[in-house]
């Protein structure tokens, strides 16, 4: 079995060595420009079109959870990967735990009013504030998929009321489930902390706009862990400046790196990280890919296949 690997920044020799260990019958090689030799599987992130085009592959694996970048490249170059070749993505592989760490730490930061105490400290002000109550701190998770479910689990464990919104209803214990455009308003009405874990699709671009933010509880918070294009950044600033939103923590931006001139950098109630909420963990990802390839070779049903029509 022949496997080609391409990632612009990963430690390619490590990946090749580990994949070779876990798939003993496979010959794994780094794809380099000009390599037209046969391959059964391709493991990729931001692949050049010529890497995939015209190949008779059994499957392609995206080396991340979101497949928006590869699907947008496919839209511009449909011949890069015919529909008959399945595309897989990473399901969790250690990203769920990282999202839990991120979400829990920031929700607790807001809940314990550390943002207010930081602002007071800057004014040398010693002033205990009233506690927030959990019943006024409903967490609303948009995108109830692999990562959304992990985040919901972790916040339930801290005793917060949790609700989720997705395409179809979920039967998760102790989580109120809302689905589709018809139930979005009801989902938002009681949400105090909105956590975004939607995929980037034509239906979700710009979904977090002023109209949506205005439907949240007053003095709400936004945690964007998914993609920058979900948020209309000017409208987010309007919601912050009107104090409809008390704070926002953003891991992702419509342009990355965030341009120096963006007012988000300096906003006193915005905190940010440079797209690190959950990164691909090589060991877990390699184990998942090896397991999935083994399953595909046996003809088993395996999970993680992207529905290209749906866009995730």
Ligand X SMILES: O=C(O)C(=O)CO
Ligand Y SMILES: NC(=O)C1=CN([C@@H]2O[C@H](COP(=O)(O)OP(=O)(O)OC[C@H]3O[C@@H](n4cnc5c(N)ncnc54)[C@H](O)[C@@H]3O)[C@@H](O)[C@H]2O)C=CC1
Binding residues for ligand X (CB under 6 A): 64-66, 275, 279
* Given 7, 89, 192, 227, the catalytic residue: 227
**Virtual CA dihedral for 261, 274, 151, 226, nearest 10 degrees?**
60
Question: Among ligand Y, ligand X, none, what does residue 146 contact (CB within 5–8 Å per kind)?
Answer: ligand Y
What string marks each residue from 212 to 231 as x (binds ligand Y by CB under 6 A) or -? Answer: -------------xxx----
- Find the binding residues for ligand Y in span 159-198 (CB under 6 A): 166-167, 197-198
Question: Among ligand X, ligand Y, none, what does residue 198 contact (CB within 5–8 Å per kind)?
Answer: ligand Y
* Given 46, 113, 267, 275, the catalytic residue: 275
Task: Quote the CA–CA distance of 276 and 270 in Å, as a whole number.
Answer: 16
Name the packing angle between helices 12-22 and 282-298 (round to 10°). 40
Catalytic, 227? Answer yes
The least distance separating ligand X from the CB of residue 93, rounded to whole angstroms, comes to 9
CB closer to ligand X out of 96 and 140:
96
- Find the binding residues for ligand Y in span 5-24 (CB under 6 A): none
Residues 6+ away with beta carbon under 8 Å from 286? 15, 18, 19, 22
Of 277, 286, 289, 296, the one binding ligand Y (CB under 6 A) is 277
Cβ-proximal residue to ligand X, closest one: 64
Of 28, 43, 146, 296, the one binding ligand Y (CB under 6 A) is 146
Question: Among ligand X, ligand Y, none, what does residue 17 contact (CB within 5–8 Å per kind)?
Answer: none
Task: Quote the CA–CA distance of 280 and 10 in Å, as a whole number.
Answer: 10
Instruction: Report yes or no: 230 and 204 within 8 Å, Cβ to Cβ.
Output: yes
Count the residues in the chain: 312
Long-range contact list for 227-230, CB < 8 A, 24+ apart?
A: 227/66, 227/68, 227/198, 227/199, 227/200, 227/252, 228/252, 228/253, 228/254, 228/255, 228/256, 229/200, 229/205, 229/254, 230/196, 230/198, 230/200, 230/204, 230/205, 230/206
Site residues for ligand Y per CB under 6 A: 65-66, 95, 143-148, 166-167, 197-201, 203-204, 225-227, 251-252, 275, 277-278, 312
Residues catalogued as catalytic = 227, 275
């Amino acid at each position: 079995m022949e496997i080609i690997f391409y990632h612009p920044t990963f430690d390619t020799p490590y990946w090749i060595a580990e994949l070779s260990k876990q798939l003993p019958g496979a010959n794994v090689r780094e794809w380099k420009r000009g390599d037209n030799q046969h391959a059964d599987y391709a493991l990729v992130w931001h692949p050049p079109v010529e890497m995939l085009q015209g190949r008779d592959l059994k499957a392609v694996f995206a080396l991340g959870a979101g497949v928006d970048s590869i699907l947008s490249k496919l839209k511009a170059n449909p011949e890069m990967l015919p529909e008959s070749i399945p595309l897989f993505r990473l399901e969790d592989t250690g990203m769920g735990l990282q999202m839990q760490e991120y979400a829990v730490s920031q929700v607790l930061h807001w809940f314990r009013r550390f943002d207010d105490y930081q602002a007071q400290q800057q004014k040398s002000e010693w002033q205990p504030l009233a506690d927030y109550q959990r019943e006024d701190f409903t967490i609303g998770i948009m995108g109830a998929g692999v990562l959304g479910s992990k985040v919901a689990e972790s916040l339930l464990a801290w005793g917060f009321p949790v609700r989720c919104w997705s395409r179809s209803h979920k039967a998760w214990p102790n989580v109120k489930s809302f689905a589709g455009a018809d139930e979005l308003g009801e989902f938002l009405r009681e949400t105090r902390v909105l956590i975004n874990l939607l995929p980037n699709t034509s239906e979700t671009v710009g979904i977090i706009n002023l109209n949506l933010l205005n439907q949240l509880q007053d003095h709400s918070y936004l945690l964007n862990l998914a993609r920058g294009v979900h948020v209309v950044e000017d409208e987010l600033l309007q919601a912050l400046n009107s104090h409809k939103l008390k704070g926002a923590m953003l891991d992702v931006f419509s342009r990355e790196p965030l341009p120096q001139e963006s007012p988000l950098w300096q906003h006193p109630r915005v905190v940010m990280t440079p797209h690190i909420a959950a990164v691909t963990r090589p060991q877990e990802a390699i184990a998942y890919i090896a397991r999935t390839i083994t399953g595909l070779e046996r003809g088993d049903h395996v999970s993680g296949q992207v529905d290209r029509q749906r866009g995730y």
